[in-house]
Protein backbone atom coordinates (compact mmCIF):
# COMPACT_ATOMS: atom_id res chain seq x y z
CA UNK A 1 0.00 0.00 0.00
CA UNK A 2 2.71 2.40 1.12
CA UNK A 3 4.94 1.29 -1.75
CA UNK A 4 2.15 1.84 -4.25
CA UNK A 5 1.70 5.29 -2.85
CA UNK A 6 5.39 6.12 -3.09
CA UNK A 7 5.60 4.82 -6.66
CA UNK A 8 2.51 6.76 -7.61
CA UNK A 9 3.86 9.89 -6.07
CA UNK A 10 7.23 9.50 -7.77
CA UNK A 11 5.61 8.94 -11.15
CA UNK A 12 3.48 11.97 -10.52
CA UNK A 13 6.55 14.07 -9.81
CA UNK A 14 8.25 12.84 -12.96
CA UNK A 15 5.14 13.52 -14.99
CA UNK A 16 4.80 16.94 -13.45
CA UNK A 17 8.27 17.81 -14.61
CA UNK A 18 7.65 16.50 -18.10
CA UNK A 19 4.54 18.62 -18.39
CA UNK A 20 6.61 21.75 -18.15
CA UNK A 21 8.68 20.77 -21.16
CA UNK A 22 7.44 21.22 -24.69
CA UNK A 23 6.78 17.83 -26.18
CA UNK A 24 7.05 17.02 -29.83
CA UNK A 25 6.52 13.30 -29.72
CA UNK A 26 4.28 11.00 -27.78
CA UNK A 27 1.38 10.37 -30.10
CA UNK A 28 3.25 8.26 -32.64
CA UNK A 29 1.39 5.14 -33.55
CA UNK A 30 -1.78 6.79 -32.42
CA UNK A 31 -4.39 7.27 -35.09
CA UNK A 32 -6.35 9.86 -33.17
CA UNK A 33 -6.62 12.99 -35.21
CA UNK A 34 -5.35 16.15 -33.57
CA UNK A 35 -4.82 19.64 -34.62
CA UNK A 36 -1.12 20.44 -34.91
CA UNK A 37 -1.25 23.61 -32.82
CA UNK A 38 -2.36 21.46 -29.90
CA UNK A 39 -0.05 18.51 -30.60
CA UNK A 40 1.93 18.97 -27.40
CA UNK A 41 -1.16 19.29 -25.21
CA UNK A 42 -2.70 16.31 -26.95
CA UNK A 43 0.37 14.20 -26.20
CA UNK A 44 0.42 15.29 -22.55
CA UNK A 45 -3.24 14.40 -22.22
CA UNK A 46 -2.47 10.94 -23.58
CA UNK A 47 0.25 10.49 -20.93
CA UNK A 48 -2.09 11.63 -18.20
CA UNK A 49 -4.73 9.18 -19.39
CA UNK A 50 -2.23 6.33 -19.29
CA UNK A 51 -1.20 7.39 -15.81
CA UNK A 52 -4.84 7.49 -14.70
CA UNK A 53 -5.51 4.05 -16.14
CA UNK A 54 -2.52 2.61 -14.25
CA UNK A 55 -3.63 4.31 -11.04
CA UNK A 56 -7.11 2.86 -11.46
CA UNK A 57 -5.77 -0.62 -12.14
CA UNK A 58 -3.37 -0.46 -9.20
CA UNK A 59 -6.14 0.63 -6.90
CA UNK A 60 -8.41 -2.25 -7.86
CA UNK A 61 -8.06 -5.32 -5.72
CA UNK A 62 -6.80 -3.37 -2.74
CA UNK A 63 -10.28 -3.16 -1.35
CA UNK A 64 -12.77 -3.18 -4.20
CA UNK A 65 -14.01 -6.74 -4.16
CA UNK A 66 -16.88 -5.91 -6.49
CA UNK A 67 -14.73 -4.57 -9.31
CA UNK A 68 -11.69 -6.49 -10.54
CA UNK A 69 -9.16 -6.13 -13.35
CA UNK A 70 -11.12 -8.82 -15.19
CA UNK A 71 -14.46 -7.03 -14.95
CA UNK A 72 -13.12 -3.50 -15.47
CA UNK A 73 -14.81 -1.99 -18.54
CA UNK A 74 -12.98 0.48 -20.73
CA UNK A 75 -14.76 3.52 -22.12
CA UNK A 76 -13.33 4.61 -25.47
CA UNK A 77 -13.00 7.56 -27.81
CA UNK A 78 -15.70 7.49 -30.52
CA UNK A 79 -12.88 8.09 -33.00
CA UNK A 80 -11.50 4.67 -32.13
CA UNK A 81 -14.79 2.83 -32.66
CA UNK A 82 -15.09 0.78 -35.84
CA UNK A 83 -18.07 1.53 -38.08
CA UNK A 84 -19.75 -1.63 -36.87
CA UNK A 85 -19.21 -0.60 -33.24
CA UNK A 86 -20.60 2.86 -33.91
CA UNK A 87 -23.64 1.43 -35.63
CA UNK A 88 -24.36 -0.91 -32.76
CA UNK A 89 -24.19 1.93 -30.24
CA UNK A 90 -26.51 4.01 -32.44
CA UNK A 91 -28.87 1.06 -32.83
CA UNK A 92 -29.17 0.71 -29.08
CA UNK A 93 -29.90 4.43 -28.56
CA UNK A 94 -32.61 4.27 -31.25
CA UNK A 95 -33.94 1.20 -29.44
CA UNK A 96 -34.33 3.18 -26.17
CA UNK A 97 -36.13 5.85 -28.19
CA UNK A 98 -38.63 3.22 -29.31
CA UNK A 99 -39.32 1.56 -25.94
CA UNK A 100 -42.18 2.89 -23.77
CA UNK A 101 -41.64 5.38 -20.97
CA UNK A 102 -41.80 4.33 -17.32
CA UNK A 103 -42.50 7.80 -15.93
CA UNK A 104 -46.10 8.11 -14.68
CA UNK A 105 -47.90 10.19 -17.33
CA UNK A 106 -49.36 12.55 -14.73
CA UNK A 107 -45.80 13.58 -13.74
CA UNK A 108 -44.41 14.00 -17.25
CA UNK A 109 -47.17 13.80 -19.88
CA UNK A 110 -44.65 14.37 -22.65
CA UNK A 111 -42.42 11.45 -21.74
CA UNK A 112 -43.33 8.90 -24.39
CA UNK A 113 -40.23 6.74 -24.65
CA UNK A 114 -37.74 5.12 -22.35
CA UNK A 115 -35.22 7.64 -23.65
CA UNK A 116 -37.56 10.43 -22.53
CA UNK A 117 -37.37 9.15 -18.95
CA UNK A 118 -33.77 10.40 -18.91
CA UNK A 119 -34.75 13.76 -20.36
CA UNK A 120 -37.60 14.17 -17.84
CA UNK A 121 -35.34 13.35 -14.90
CA UNK A 122 -32.69 15.84 -16.01
CA UNK A 123 -35.29 18.57 -16.59
CA UNK A 124 -36.84 17.88 -13.22
CA UNK A 125 -33.56 18.21 -11.34
CA UNK A 126 -31.75 20.92 -13.31
CA UNK A 127 -31.75 23.37 -10.43
CA UNK A 128 -29.89 21.03 -8.13
CA UNK A 129 -27.49 19.12 -10.40
CA UNK A 130 -25.67 22.04 -12.06
CA UNK A 131 -23.26 24.45 -10.37
CA UNK A 132 -23.84 22.52 -7.17
CA UNK A 133 -21.97 19.87 -5.19
CA UNK A 134 -23.86 17.22 -7.16
CA UNK A 135 -22.75 18.16 -10.65
CA UNK A 136 -19.94 15.68 -11.33
CA UNK A 137 -21.16 12.69 -9.32
CA UNK A 138 -24.80 13.03 -10.37
CA UNK A 139 -23.90 13.10 -14.04
CA UNK A 140 -21.51 10.16 -13.54
CA UNK A 141 -24.38 8.16 -12.08
CA UNK A 142 -26.89 9.38 -14.68
CA UNK A 143 -24.59 8.44 -17.57
CA UNK A 144 -23.93 5.05 -16.00
CA UNK A 145 -27.67 4.39 -15.74
CA UNK A 146 -28.01 5.30 -19.41
CA UNK A 147 -25.27 2.80 -20.25
CA UNK A 148 -27.06 0.16 -18.15
CA UNK A 149 -30.32 0.76 -19.98
CA UNK A 150 -28.58 0.40 -23.34
CA UNK A 151 -27.11 -2.90 -22.16
CA UNK A 152 -30.04 -4.39 -20.25
CA UNK A 153 -32.95 -3.10 -22.29
CA UNK A 154 -31.44 -2.87 -25.77
CA UNK A 155 -28.77 -5.57 -25.82
CA UNK A 156 -25.79 -3.26 -26.21
CA UNK A 157 -22.53 -5.12 -25.60
CA UNK A 158 -19.95 -2.63 -26.87
CA UNK A 159 -17.88 -0.09 -24.98
CA UNK A 160 -19.31 3.18 -23.77
CA UNK A 161 -18.08 6.10 -25.90
CA UNK A 162 -16.82 9.58 -25.18
CA UNK A 163 -16.42 12.62 -27.41
CA UNK A 164 -12.87 13.94 -27.67
CA UNK A 165 -13.63 17.67 -27.86
CA UNK A 166 -10.06 18.69 -28.49
CA UNK A 167 -9.87 16.75 -31.74
CA UNK A 168 -12.93 18.59 -33.07
CA UNK A 169 -12.05 22.07 -31.83
CA UNK A 170 -11.24 23.17 -35.38
CA UNK A 171 -14.37 21.81 -36.98
CA UNK A 172 -17.58 20.50 -35.55
CA UNK A 173 -18.69 19.77 -39.11
CA UNK A 174 -15.88 17.24 -39.53
CA UNK A 175 -16.42 15.63 -36.14
CA UNK A 176 -17.07 11.89 -36.42
CA UNK A 177 -19.74 12.45 -33.76
CA UNK A 178 -21.57 15.17 -35.68
CA UNK A 179 -20.64 14.87 -39.37
CA UNK A 180 -24.09 13.67 -40.41
CA UNK A 181 -22.86 10.30 -41.69
CA UNK A 182 -24.65 7.08 -40.81
CA UNK A 183 -21.97 6.43 -38.16
CA UNK A 184 -22.55 9.81 -36.48
CA UNK A 185 -25.26 11.04 -34.11
CA UNK A 186 -26.64 12.98 -37.09
CA UNK A 187 -25.08 16.26 -38.11
CA UNK A 188 -25.82 19.90 -38.57
CA UNK A 189 -29.29 21.36 -38.94
CA UNK A 190 -30.47 22.81 -42.24
CA UNK A 191 -28.76 26.16 -42.78
CA UNK A 192 -30.84 29.16 -41.76
CA UNK A 193 -29.27 32.34 -43.18
CA UNK A 194 -28.42 35.46 -41.18
CA UNK A 195 -28.97 33.91 -37.76
CA UNK A 196 -27.55 35.65 -34.74
CA UNK A 197 -25.59 34.01 -31.94
CA UNK A 198 -26.94 32.79 -28.62
CA UNK A 199 -26.76 34.01 -25.04
CA UNK A 200 -25.70 31.66 -22.25
CA UNK A 201 -27.17 32.88 -18.96
CA UNK A 202 -25.25 32.26 -15.73
CA UNK A 203 -27.52 33.09 -12.79
CA UNK A 204 -27.29 36.81 -12.09
CA UNK A 205 -23.83 37.10 -13.61
CA UNK A 206 -23.05 38.66 -16.97
CA UNK A 207 -24.15 36.21 -19.66
CA UNK A 208 -21.78 34.83 -22.28
CA UNK A 209 -22.56 35.56 -25.94
CA UNK A 210 -21.57 33.07 -28.60
CA UNK A 211 -21.16 33.65 -32.34
CA UNK A 212 -23.75 32.23 -34.77
CA UNK A 213 -23.68 28.56 -35.72
CA UNK A 214 -23.67 27.13 -39.23
CA UNK A 215 -27.02 25.33 -39.21
CA UNK A 216 -30.12 26.10 -37.18
CA UNK A 217 -32.84 23.93 -38.73
CA UNK A 218 -33.82 20.30 -38.34
CA UNK A 219 -31.04 17.75 -38.75
CA UNK A 220 -30.96 16.66 -42.37
CA UNK A 221 -29.17 13.31 -42.33
CA UNK A 222 -27.85 10.50 -40.20
CA UNK A 223 -29.47 8.03 -37.80
CA UNK A 224 -31.51 10.58 -35.82
CA UNK A 225 -33.09 12.35 -38.78
CA UNK A 226 -36.53 10.97 -37.84
CA UNK A 227 -36.11 11.29 -34.08
CA UNK A 228 -38.88 13.22 -32.32
CA UNK A 229 -38.03 15.50 -29.41
CA UNK A 230 -41.05 15.10 -27.13
CA UNK A 231 -40.64 17.60 -24.28
CA UNK A 232 -39.47 21.14 -23.72
CA UNK A 233 -38.20 23.62 -24.54
CA UNK A 234 -37.46 24.28 -20.92
CA UNK A 235 -34.51 26.69 -20.89
CA UNK A 236 -33.47 27.00 -24.50
CA UNK A 237 -30.94 29.57 -25.76
CA UNK A 238 -32.01 30.59 -29.25
CA UNK A 239 -30.30 32.76 -31.89
CA UNK A 240 -30.75 36.44 -31.11
CA UNK A 241 -30.26 36.05 -27.37
CA UNK A 242 -33.64 34.95 -26.07
CA UNK A 243 -34.30 32.09 -23.71
CA UNK A 244 -37.36 30.04 -24.63
CA UNK A 245 -39.27 27.98 -22.13
CA UNK A 246 -42.73 26.56 -21.61
CA UNK A 247 -44.76 26.78 -18.47
CA UNK A 248 -45.05 22.99 -18.41
CA UNK A 249 -41.93 21.76 -20.15
CA UNK A 250 -42.72 18.13 -19.30
CA UNK A 251 -45.86 18.33 -21.47
CA UNK A 252 -45.89 16.80 -24.92
CA UNK A 253 -44.49 19.07 -27.64
CA UNK A 254 -43.31 16.84 -30.49
CA UNK A 255 -40.87 18.37 -33.00
CA UNK A 256 -37.71 17.66 -34.92
CA UNK A 257 -34.25 17.86 -33.38
CA UNK A 258 -32.40 20.92 -34.61
CA UNK A 259 -28.65 21.54 -34.55
CA UNK A 260 -26.61 24.64 -35.01
CA UNK A 261 -22.99 23.50 -34.98
CA UNK A 262 -20.90 26.23 -33.39
CA UNK A 263 -17.20 25.46 -33.69
CA UNK A 264 -16.10 28.67 -31.89
CA UNK A 265 -17.76 27.44 -28.67
CA UNK A 266 -15.59 24.33 -28.75
CA UNK A 267 -12.46 26.09 -29.95
CA UNK A 268 -12.62 28.78 -27.28
CA UNK A 269 -13.64 26.67 -24.31
CA UNK A 270 -12.89 22.99 -24.95
CA UNK A 271 -9.61 22.80 -26.87
CA UNK A 272 -6.71 20.60 -25.72
CA UNK A 273 -5.07 23.53 -23.94
CA UNK A 274 -8.16 24.23 -21.86
CA UNK A 275 -8.60 20.54 -21.03
CA UNK A 276 -4.99 20.17 -19.96
CA UNK A 277 -5.06 23.41 -18.02
CA UNK A 278 -8.13 22.38 -16.07
CA UNK A 279 -6.60 19.03 -15.12
CA UNK A 280 -3.20 20.40 -14.13
CA UNK A 281 -4.18 23.63 -12.44
CA UNK A 282 -7.27 22.79 -10.38
CA UNK A 283 -5.89 22.37 -6.87
CA UNK A 284 -9.07 21.24 -5.19
CA UNK A 285 -12.52 19.95 -6.05
CA UNK A 286 -14.20 23.32 -5.66
CA UNK A 287 -11.83 24.84 -8.22
CA UNK A 288 -12.18 21.87 -10.51
CA UNK A 289 -15.97 21.69 -10.54
CA UNK A 290 -16.30 25.46 -10.82
CA UNK A 291 -13.83 25.77 -13.69
CA UNK A 292 -15.20 22.88 -15.71
CA UNK A 293 -18.56 24.68 -15.78
CA UNK A 294 -16.92 28.07 -16.32
CA UNK A 295 -16.30 30.45 -13.44
CA UNK A 296 -19.48 32.54 -13.29
CA UNK A 297 -17.64 35.86 -13.37
CA UNK A 298 -15.03 34.84 -15.93
CA UNK A 299 -16.87 35.07 -19.23
CA UNK A 300 -16.04 31.40 -19.80
CA UNK A 301 -18.61 28.64 -20.11
CA UNK A 302 -15.95 26.04 -19.43
CA UNK A 303 -15.44 22.65 -21.01
CA UNK A 304 -18.99 21.70 -20.05
CA UNK A 305 -20.65 24.68 -21.70
CA UNK A 306 -18.25 24.56 -24.65
CA UNK A 307 -19.31 21.06 -25.60
CA UNK A 308 -23.01 21.66 -25.07
CA UNK A 309 -23.27 24.92 -26.97
CA UNK A 310 -21.06 23.64 -29.79
CA UNK A 311 -23.89 21.25 -30.69
CA UNK A 312 -26.36 24.11 -30.66
CA UNK A 313 -30.02 23.90 -31.56
CA UNK A 314 -32.95 22.36 -29.78
CA UNK A 315 -32.62 20.56 -27.41
CA UNK A 316 -28.79 20.80 -27.49
CA UNK A 317 -28.87 24.40 -26.27
CA UNK A 318 -31.51 23.69 -23.64
CA UNK A 319 -29.81 23.62 -20.24
CA UNK A 320 -32.65 21.48 -18.86
CA UNK A 321 -33.57 19.34 -21.85
CA UNK A 322 -30.08 18.74 -23.30
CA UNK A 323 -30.12 14.94 -22.78
CA UNK A 324 -32.71 14.99 -25.56
CA UNK A 325 -29.80 15.42 -27.99
CA UNK A 326 -28.03 12.04 -28.20
CA UNK A 327 -24.71 13.92 -28.21
CA UNK A 328 -25.28 14.51 -24.48
CA UNK A 329 -23.92 11.08 -23.48
CA UNK A 330 -20.74 11.37 -25.53
CA UNK A 331 -20.20 14.82 -24.06
CA UNK A 332 -20.77 13.75 -20.48
CA UNK A 333 -18.57 10.71 -21.04
CA UNK A 334 -15.77 13.17 -21.72
CA UNK A 335 -16.68 15.35 -18.72
CA UNK A 336 -16.51 12.23 -16.59
CA UNK A 337 -13.20 11.18 -18.18
CA UNK A 338 -11.61 14.53 -17.36
CA UNK A 339 -12.82 14.26 -13.75
CA UNK A 340 -11.51 10.67 -13.58
CA UNK A 341 -8.07 11.78 -14.80
CA UNK A 342 -8.01 14.63 -12.30
CA UNK A 343 -9.05 12.30 -9.44
CA UNK A 344 -6.46 9.70 -10.47
CA UNK A 345 -3.59 12.18 -10.15
CA UNK A 346 -4.08 12.27 -6.38
CA UNK A 347 -6.50 9.56 -5.29
CA UNK A 348 -5.83 10.10 -1.61
CA UNK A 349 -7.06 13.66 -1.64
CA UNK A 350 -9.40 13.70 -4.62
CA UNK A 351 -11.24 10.40 -4.89
CA UNK A 352 -13.81 11.32 -2.26
CA UNK A 353 -13.56 15.10 -2.33
CA UNK A 354 -16.88 16.94 -2.58
CA UNK A 355 -17.64 20.64 -2.33
CA UNK A 356 -20.61 22.89 -2.91
CA UNK A 357 -24.20 23.02 -1.84
CA UNK A 358 -27.38 21.36 -3.04
CA UNK A 359 -28.55 24.22 -5.30
CA UNK A 360 -27.47 26.05 -8.47
CA UNK A 361 -24.97 28.72 -7.35
CA UNK A 362 -26.47 28.14 -3.91
CA UNK A 363 -29.75 29.83 -4.94
CA UNK A 364 -31.77 29.43 -2.80
CA UNK A 365 -29.24 28.85 -0.03
CA UNK A 366 -28.96 25.15 0.83
CA UNK A 367 -26.81 22.77 2.91
CA UNK A 368 -23.41 21.56 1.77
CA UNK A 369 -23.39 18.29 -0.13
CA UNK A 370 -21.59 15.59 1.86
CA UNK A 371 -20.63 12.00 1.12
CA UNK A 372 -23.75 10.96 3.01
CA UNK A 373 -26.12 13.12 0.96
CA UNK A 374 -28.25 10.99 -1.36
CA UNK A 375 -29.19 11.52 -4.98
CA UNK A 376 -31.65 9.83 -7.31
CA UNK A 377 -32.36 9.73 -11.03
CA UNK A 378 -36.14 9.44 -10.78
CA UNK A 379 -37.93 7.03 -13.08
CA UNK A 380 -34.77 6.22 -14.96
CA UNK A 381 -34.19 3.42 -12.43
CA UNK A 382 -37.24 3.23 -10.17
CA UNK A 383 -36.05 6.20 -8.12
CA UNK A 384 -33.45 4.29 -6.12
CA UNK A 385 -31.55 6.65 -3.89
CA UNK A 386 -27.80 6.36 -3.61
CA UNK A 387 -25.31 8.09 -1.34
CA UNK A 388 -22.69 10.40 -2.82
CA UNK A 389 -19.93 8.23 -1.32
CA UNK A 390 -21.02 5.37 -3.59
CA UNK A 391 -20.73 7.32 -6.84
CA UNK A 392 -17.36 9.00 -6.43
CA UNK A 393 -15.06 6.28 -7.73
CA UNK A 394 -15.37 4.65 -11.16
CA UNK A 395 -14.34 1.33 -9.60
CA UNK A 396 -16.58 1.30 -6.52
CA UNK A 397 -20.29 1.30 -5.77
CA UNK A 398 -22.23 0.47 -8.95
CA UNK A 399 -19.30 1.35 -11.25
CA UNK A 400 -16.43 -0.62 -12.71
CA UNK A 401 -14.82 1.26 -15.55
CA UNK A 402 -11.90 3.36 -16.66
CA UNK A 403 -11.08 5.32 -19.80
CA UNK A 404 -8.42 5.21 -22.46
Ligand X SMILES: *[C@@H]1O[C@H](CO)[C@@H](O)[C@H](O)[C@H]1NC(C)=O
Residues making contact with ligand X (CB under 6 A): 27, 33-34, 36, 39, 103, 107-108, 120-121, 124, 223, 225-226, 267-269, 271, 273-274, 300, 376, 378-379, 383, 385
Cα–Cα distance measured from residue 233 to residue 81, given in angstroms and rounded to the nearest whole number: 32
As beta bridge partners, residue 228 has: 256
Q: Which is nearer to ligand X, 11 or 383 (CB)?
A: 383
Residues 6 or more apart whose Cβ sits within 8 Å of residue 167: 32, 33, 34, 35, 42, 79, 175
185 vs 400, beta carbon nearer ligand X: 185
Rg of the chain over all Cα atoms, to the nearest angstrom: 20
DSSP 122-153: HHHHHHHHSSSTTHHHHHHHHHHHHHHHHHHH
* Distance (Å) of CA 132 to CA 235, 298, 330, 376, 388: 18, 17, 22, 15, 13
State the minimum distance, in angstroms, from the CB of residue 28 to ligand X. Answer: 7
Residue 93 backbone dihedrals phi, psi, to 5 degrees: -70, -45
Is residue 396 within 8 A of residue 67, CB to CB? The reply is yes
Nearest CB to ligand X, comparing residues 194 and 372? 372
Question: Smaller CB distance to ligand X: residue 58 or 217?
Answer: 217
Query: Minimum distance from CB of 206 to ligand X (Å)?
Result: 17
The one-character DSSP state at 14 is H
Measured from the CB atom, is 230 or 274 closer to ligand X? Answer: 274
342 vs 401 by CB, closer to ligand X: 342
Q: How far is the CB of 1 from ligand X (least distance, A)?
A: 36
> In whole angstroms, how close is the CB of 139 to ligand X at the nearest point?
16
Alpha-carbon distance 135 to 272, whole Å? 22
Give the nearest distance from C-beta 55 to ligand X in angstroms: 25
| Smallest separation, CB 2 to ligand X (Å) | 38
Amino acid sequence: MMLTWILTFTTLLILTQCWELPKTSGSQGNDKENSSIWASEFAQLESLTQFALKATQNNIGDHQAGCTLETLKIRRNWRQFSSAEKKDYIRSVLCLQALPSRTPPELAPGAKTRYDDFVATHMNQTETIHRSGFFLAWHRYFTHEFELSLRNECGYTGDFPYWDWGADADSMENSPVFDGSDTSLSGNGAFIPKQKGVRVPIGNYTPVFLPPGTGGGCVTSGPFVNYTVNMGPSYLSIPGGDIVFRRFPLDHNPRCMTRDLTTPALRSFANYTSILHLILHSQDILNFETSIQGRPESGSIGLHGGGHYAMGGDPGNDADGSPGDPGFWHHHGMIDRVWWIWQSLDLTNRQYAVAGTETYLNQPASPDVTLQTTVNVGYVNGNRSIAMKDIMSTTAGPFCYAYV
